[in-house]
Amino acid sequence: MEYSDILQNISKHIKLDEYEISRFTSVLVRKEFKKNEIILKEGLQCNVINYVQQGALRAFHVDQDIDENIVMFAINDWWITDMYSFVTGKPAIINIDALEDTIVFQLHRDDLGDLYNSVPKFERFFRIVMQNAYIREQLRVIENLSMKAEDRYNNFLNKYPQFAQRLPLKQIASYLGITPEFLSVLRKRATKKIT
């Protein structure tokens, strides 16, 4: 059954009985997006959390100079949303679109609110999800502050090999906060060092 991945994801942190499972899956909304399709547009309200069943999404922010800065990638078995907008109800500050054809399960803000009350275990689950997200972002801040672009790139390759294989150089550069031209230079240097 198609819910098995998301249920397994949840079972890493909490145990649900049959009733709780049905309650949870009943509020999930399955959606398909084609490559390049937009899931969330900056300025609109973000009312869902997305669980990626299959495919690849990216969240990015557009600055004044029209540069795109990638906030995060999300492939199979990742959760992604504009947490700021989702939590506050204010306009989204990031865009989310599909890097590949993608299937997601969406959890609506209101449904999640109900879920917290009817199945409090979900408070624990999302506490842990948030905890991990916080830790991840804090590490990224430290890396951005303390490492040069070349080291950040190598670190990225080690940390997310599954992304590195799958994503075009341009996207990785944007995630690292450097230009594609410069990443191309770094990559060339790296091959020289190996040979």
Partner DNA sequence: CGTCTATTTGAATGTACTCAAAAGCGGTGG
Partner DNA sequence: CCACCGCTTTTGAGTACATTCAAATAGACG
Residues that bind its own copies (CB under 8 A): 61, 63, 67, 69, 71, 83-84, 87, 93-94, 116, 120, 123-124, 126-127, 130-135, 137-142, 144-147, 177
Question: CA 106 to CA 51: how far, in whole Å?
Answer: 6
Of DNA, its own copies, none, which one does residue 78 interact with (CB within 5 to 8 Å by kind)?
none
> Partners of 49 in the beta sheet?
107
Question: CA 82 to CA 94: how far, in whole Å?
Answer: 6
Among 38, 120, 177, 190, binds DNA (CB under 7 A): 177
Of its own copies, DNA, none, which one does residue 185 interact with (CB within 5 to 8 Å by kind)?
DNA
Q: By CB under 7 A, tell whether 183 contacts DNA.
A: yes
Token reading at 193: 């060092």
Token reading at 6: 């998301």
Tell me how many residues contact DNA (CB under 7 A): 19
For residue 167, give every residue at least 6 positions away whose Cβ sits within 8 Å of its Cβ, in sequence order, or none: 56, 73, 99
Of DNA, its own copies, none, which one does residue 69 interact with (CB within 5 to 8 Å by kind)?
its own copies
Site string for DNA, 50-69 (x = CB under 7 A): ---------------x-x--
User: What is the C-alpha R_g of the chain?
Assistant: 18
Q: Which stretch binds DNA (CB under 7 A): 38-46, 119-127, 134-142, 147-155?
A: 147-155
For residue 52, give every residue at least 6 positions away whose Cβ sits within 8 Å of its Cβ, in sequence order, or none: 74, 75, 76, 77, 78, 79, 80, 102, 103, 104
> Which residues form the interface with DNA (CB under 7 A)?
65, 67, 148-150, 168-170, 177-185, 187-188
